Copies of this chain bind each other. A is one copy, B any other.
């Protein structure tokens, strides 16, 4: 028996290859779009992938079932749903998928979405169910969010979720392993735990959602605690329902010299996307560039801030980052990449072109400004989520979630200096880049941000 977990960093997306070595066949559960990793694992274990399953219509990443089917001839298996617009096999409660000696049994577990299914694994050396692929129904320390479809479906879905958890999953037994579709860091759950695998017993006893005393309490608490979902989710859900374009292989990304890069910058929707670290962006960047540094959160912020119809022009720390950046973008459905600035900022500077800076101020400088009474002049902007804001902020700060910056930036004064902070300085630099591009004259960002502020023992207000 082979069970391999594939982690897509950033989205904290977990997918699985499960196979039987004697029969030589395998299924992939919730595959991502760049599927070579599954082909490689299958070959290493002498397995043919015969089945590409998705547990539900994903909203945070473009599903790879069609790509995998195109590459290998595997059958696409999805939950039953009218939303789908491509050929596939629909799985219903009680259906089974045989993989040699292994058996995947389908449970309909609606809640995160109406069509959502879970897959119970038995077989191998064991006749009894020993694991369940729960998709976005149950995570370590968290449950799936029922609010992504909107239109007043939140509460009915939350109620369905309660029953899926208590009537379908937990009865499988405390000793059953739980393999969810997401780990820590995914916005598909509010506070998913760090364990990649967990158990029904552990979640039954310790998952805060499963401690609710009643269906009512569960529904109430769940709906009250949900962070705002990334705005790109409906777009990707639509792509997954219609059937993502099959790529075949990673599209070639041309290197562009400064002249061509500048010419393409002139296109109406073009976005210069700078993935270097925040201090490098602060030190110097192309005027108008958007900063989304290549850290864990890159794909989520790329999904949030960029649109599929915008041609992307990449400024990388090194050409060696190109592959990783491209995969992250493709996974959230951003395919239109015009190319890469050939020698990055080094070439840009040597060509004698203009660049801009965003001052990176330390918390000590910021504190000094505050102490010296500059706060009146300064606009200190906190771009964190509501939940983070509620846990305490820097005195005098204005709250403006980074995801809403574009709509709400007119609440700020373009002529007065702005200092942006967040949790660690990452979103702050992204937000600062957007403000600067939008005409704000004097924009600073705070590396370390609240993390540093706390570490230094400076006071927060609530």
Contact = CB atoms under 8 A, between A and B. Distances in A.
Contact of A173 (B124, B205, B254, B280): B205
Nearest to A175: B201
A425 interface: yes
Interface residues of A, number: 90
A360 B196 contact: no
B424 A350 contact: yes
A276 B280 contact: yes
B351 A448 contact: yes
A452 B130 CA distance: 31
Nearest to A196: B3
A249 interface: yes
Contacts of A451: 350, 352
A44 interface: yes
Contacts of A425: 346, 349-350
Nearest to A192: B125
Interface string A158-194: 0000000000000001111100000010000001011
A47 B249 CA distance: 22
A193 B124 contact: yes
B175 A204 contact: yes
A55 interface: no
Given A175-B205, A205-B175, A248-B248, A448 B349 contact: yes
B126 A206 contact: yes
Contact of A343 (B46, B206, B281): B46
A279 interface: yes
Interface in A193-226: 193-206
Contact of A455 (B39, B317, B351): B351
Given A252-B71, A255-B42, A343-B46, A177 B205 contact: no
Interface string A382-408: 000000000000000000000000000
A350 B124 contact: no
A300 interface: no
Given A177-B197, A199-B176, A357 B354 contact: no
Interface string A254-272: 1111000000000000000
A268 B173 CA distance: 55
Interface in A1-15: 1, 3
B319 A202 contact: no
Nearest to A448: B349
Interface string A22-40: 0010000000000000010
A252 B72 contact: yes
9 nearest CB pairs, A to B: A175-B201, A283-B283, A175-B202, A352-B455, A279-B283, A349-B448, A280-B280, A352-B456, A174-B174
Given A276-B277, A350-B455, 14 more contacts: A3-B195, A24-B342, A48-B254, A48-B257, A173-B205, A175-B205, A176-B199, A277-B317, A280-B283, A282-B283, A282-B284, A349-B424, A349-B425, A350-B424
19 contacts: A24-B255, A46-B255, A126-B141, A128-B202, A176-B201, A248-B249, A249-B249, A277-B345, A280-B280, A283-B357, A283-B360, A349-B425, A350-B448, A350-B451, A350-B455, A351-B448, A352-B454, A352-B456, A355-B362
